[in-house]
Amino acid sequence: MGKVSSTDKQININGDRPIALVTGANQGIGLQIAKDLVTHGFTVLVGSRNFERGETAAKEIGQHAHAFQLDVTDQASITAAAKRIGSEFGRLDVLIQNAAISNTSKQPGQSVEEYAKTTRPSNVSINEMRAVWDTNVFGVLAVYQAMLPLLRKSPQARIVNVSSGAGSLTMNANPTNGHRAIFGPVYPASKTALNALTLAMAIELEPEGIQVNAVSPGFTKTNLNGHAGTETVEEGAAEAVRVALLGPDGPTGTFSHAKLGTLPW
């Protein structure tokens, strides 16, 4: 698999505006990714579980953004979105899988550390784990399968999966890692599984020249963490946008962060 590079030529689809779908794009990092891609000449499809919120986001972004109802846990919603993209645009050039949830049972005011104690392998709710993995893992795979025929119609397709350093087995296996104590079966392990999916997708699509990479936005201030993050959404979106813009000679099968570079799996 290729190394991370920032020198490749940016995507250019025969002079047309390339088409990008961003899941979970009605708020937070996804919304910022959508805004940034429009400034780079893309037409952006704003995937949102709630269509009205997606419409509001698309209006905020501008004329080159279009709202799409897309619930990654609902196969009918995914299928309908793929059908609409096919009929209205004919292809998809970039798929950014950003939609994710961190939990369904964290109590108001409960710290991440306190919540982590309730999700150890010995006491975690299987239903809690299933709910998060349904969005963060199975939802990603379902969208991938539905959108792949459209991506294959692009001369320069690529997929960017928004992961997290919290899912790095190498970093969490290090006893000196300060965040090691919160590694568990729910959100962190869902991102580990997403990294595995990313590599499997990259291996499958490498013969076709379709790049598949995972990126970590870092600890960004979003609803996902109750706005407890330390980085802005602009900083959190940066790596996904950079990787989405890499040209045909760009890397595939990588995991990276805007400031830290290549991350260990």
Contact 45, 22 (CB under 8 A): yes
Q: For residue 128, give the nearest of 184, 70, 192, 179 by alpha carbon.
A: 184
> What residues contact residue 4 under an 8 Å CB cut-off, 6+ apart?
251, 254, 256, 261, 262
User: How many domains does the structure of the chain reveal?
Assistant: 1
Helix axes 139-151, 75-88, angle to 10 degrees: 20
DSSP E strand stretches across the chain = 19-22, 43-48, 65-69, 94-97, 158-162, 211-216, 255-257, 261-262
131 falls within a domain:
yes
108 falls within a domain:
yes
Catalytic residue among 115, 144, 187, 221, which? 187
* Mean pLDDT over each residue of the chain, to the nearest integer: 91
Domain boundaries, position 240: 19-262
Contact 261, 243 (CB under 8 A): no
Q: What's the whole-number mean pLDDT along residues 206-223?
A: 86
| Active site (annotated) includes residue 35 | no
Residue 41, domain CATH? 3.40.50.720
11 falls within a domain:
no
12 falls within a domain:
no
Catalytic residue among 106, 115, 144, 191, which? 191
2 falls within a domain:
no
Query: pLDDT category, 203, cuts 50, 70, 90?
Result: very high
Give the pLDDT score at 253: 98
How many Å apart are CA 46 and CA 20, to the nearest integer? 9
Give the pLDDT score at 228: 55
Say if strands 43-48 and 19-22 run parallel, antiparallel, or are unpaired. Answer: parallel
3 falls within a domain:
no
Specify the higher pLDDT residue, 249 or 231.
Answer: 249
Give the pLDDT score at 218: 85
Give the pLDDT score at 223: 56
Q: What's the whole-number mean pLDDT along residues 186-198?
A: 98
14 falls within a domain:
no
172 falls within a domain:
yes
